[in-house]
Amino acid sequence: MTRNRATKIVATLGPASSTQTVIDALHQAGADLFRLNFSHGTYEDHAARLRLIRDIEARNGRPIGVLLDLQGPKLRIATFDTGRAELRADEAFVFDQNPAPGDSKRVCLPHPEIFAAAGIGDILLVNDGLLRFEVTDVSLTRIVTRVIVGGVISDRKGVNVPRVALPLPALTAKDRADLEFGLAQGVDWIALSFVQRPEDLHEARALIGARAKLIAKVEKPSAVERIEEIIDAADAIMVARGDLGVELPPETIPAIQKRIVRLCREAGKPVIVATQMLESMVNSASPTRAEASDVATAVYDGADAVMLSAESASGKYPIEAVSMMNRILEHTESDPSYRQLMHAVAPPGGADTTDAIGAAIRTITGVMPVCATVTYTTSGATALRVARERPVSPILSLTPNQAVARQLALSWGISSFEIDDAETAEDMISKASATAQVHGFMNAGKPILVAAGMPFGTPGSTNLLRVVWPTAL
């Protein structure tokens, strides 16, 4: 199954996509990696879906990545004596730590960290920003606010505190248990929620070790402010635009998205653009024109992957949503200006042989027709550095490590397969050509490029590039 595009699709599984028939159809329609959202569902649900993914993977012979998305801390108000209250602009409203049910004057906010961090003039948002409050007085047990935007406030709605770095760990007790469960099941990527600073990633990294790769979800303004450090500490980035849009003005999100994608490409690390990409397809069989343009914009920016959430997890048209996203990606990448943009924003290379070979591959594929670039990699680093250059030809990554093959399913342009390691240069050429032939990458009269490190099996030693013509295959 060869994709006709380089940008990958991440599809979230849920109640609408829990059977083998639907998951297989999602993969056939274009899903390259599946997301298990641990904010919902039971361990039994997630384990069953993962087993189905692995069955489909074995049957199709193509590695499929699995992403475990941790819930992270959830900040919520408590309850009201009638379940809700009506608040009017310019009235006073108090958040306190009194567990008694709330009313139109006050409600319990059971998060002392907010009381410790909030200051006069700070803004509190409730229910995804639909209600807005300005802090006028604060103590360790009481926050007095002025209602800026009123409306109905009800039980257990979420709370956001924009521009305030809260003293909360990114990993809750639930996250720790979920993490261990997922790692034991063999997931490939862990997405860490509520990242505010690069230090938030260190604890998760220590617990994960080498068992999976780590994604930092950028959903807080404080993360945007330290984005270069967070990219450096993570293996990949997810731009969670829905959450960012709650705490930041909507007009700032497109520029933030473009900047994060550019920085990730410079770093050679995958980046996912996520949230509300085809939101209307939760209930409609087709997207809005604006949504199609939004997906295309992420492709033009150079994102490695785009993600479907409720569209594929709980919507009425999960297969149609993946199929539509696949068609948008294919059509966008066929636009000549897409290739021009990829070259126009090519990142500067480093002073090492891997980057030099990656730049050479970009040049060669730009001036002559090439069937595919074949990379040999034990860690995935060679394939990622080649993908960073966005070459014209597909990237076929060969690795003896099954986990690496699955992890690379997230990265731009890479089709990765598990094979035995090569013993000699000629063995490498033979395995490269055979794999390219089997998976439909060969084209008569066009060469393949082969990049590898010698001696074989040494991570970070990419130092060889061969142009192999069909007569030599």
One domain for residues 46 and 120 = no
One domain for residues 319 and 370 = no
Model pLDDT, residue 109: 98
Count of positions (residues) in the chain: 473
Q: Is 174 noted as a catalytic residue in this protein?
A: no
Angle of helix 289-301 relative to helix 336-344, nearest 10 degrees, comes to 40
92-140 pLDDT, tens digit each = 999 999 999 999 999 999 999 999 999 999 999 999 999 999 999 999 9
Residue 472 clears pLDDT 60, i.e. is over it: no
- Report how far residue 77's alpha carbon sits from residue 107's, in angstroms, rounded to the nearest whole number: 7
User: Residue 235: enclosing H or E segment and its boundaries?
Assistant: none
Residue 45 clears pLDDT 90, i.e. is over it: yes
The answer to whether residues 271 and 261 touch, using CB atoms and an 8 Å cutoff, is: yes
One domain for residues 326 and 223 = yes
The one catalytic residue among 8, 62, 217, 390: 217
The answer to whether residue 268 is domain-embedded is: yes
The answer to whether residue 228 is domain-embedded is: yes
The answer to whether residue 376 is domain-embedded is: yes
Q: Is 54 noted as a catalytic residue in this protein?
A: no
Q: Is 452 helix (H, G, I), strand (E, B) or coil?
A: strand
One domain for residues 327 and 357 = no
Q: Is 289 noted as a catalytic residue in this protein?
A: no
The answer to whether residue 1 is domain-embedded is: no
Residue 458 clears pLDDT 70, i.e. is over it: no
Q: Using the structure block, give the residue that is written with the tokens 């930041």.
A: 248
Record the pTM.
0.92
One domain for residues 300 and 221 = yes
C-alpha distances (whole Å) from 456 to each of 130, 207, 256, 434 are 57, 30, 40, 19
What's the domain count of the chain? 3
Q: Is 35 noted as a catalytic residue in this protein?
A: yes
Concatenate the DSSP letters of all residues of 375-444 into one string.
EE-SSSHHHHHHHHT--SS-EEEEES-HHHHHHGGGSTTEEEEE-PPPSSHHHHHHHHHHHHHHTT---T
One domain for residues 178 and 274 = yes
- Report how far residue 153's alpha carbon sits from residue 130's, in angstroms, rounded to the nearest whole number: 9
- Report how far residue 47's alpha carbon sits from residue 24's, in angstroms, rounded to the nearest whole number: 16
Mean pLDDT of the chain: 93
- By CB atoms closer than 10 A (0-12, 13-18, 19+), residue 121 is exposed
The one catalytic residue among 5, 7, 8, 35: 35
One domain for residues 89 and 64 = no
Q: Bigger pLDDT: 436 or 151? A: 151
The answer to whether residue 12 is domain-embedded is: yes
Nearest to 375 by CA among 436, 316, 320, 296: 436
The answer to whether residue 94 is domain-embedded is: yes
Q: Which of 117, 135, 160 is the last residue of a domain?
A: 160
Residue 473 clears pLDDT 70, i.e. is over it: no
One domain for residues 309 and 377 = no
* Domain interval for residue 117: 84-160
The answer to whether residue 2 is domain-embedded is: no
One domain for residues 149 and 195 = no
Helix, strand, coil tally for the chain in percent (to 5): 40, 25, 35
The one catalytic residue among 7, 145, 275, 462: 275
Q: Which of 270, 303, 334 is the last residue of a domain?
A: 334
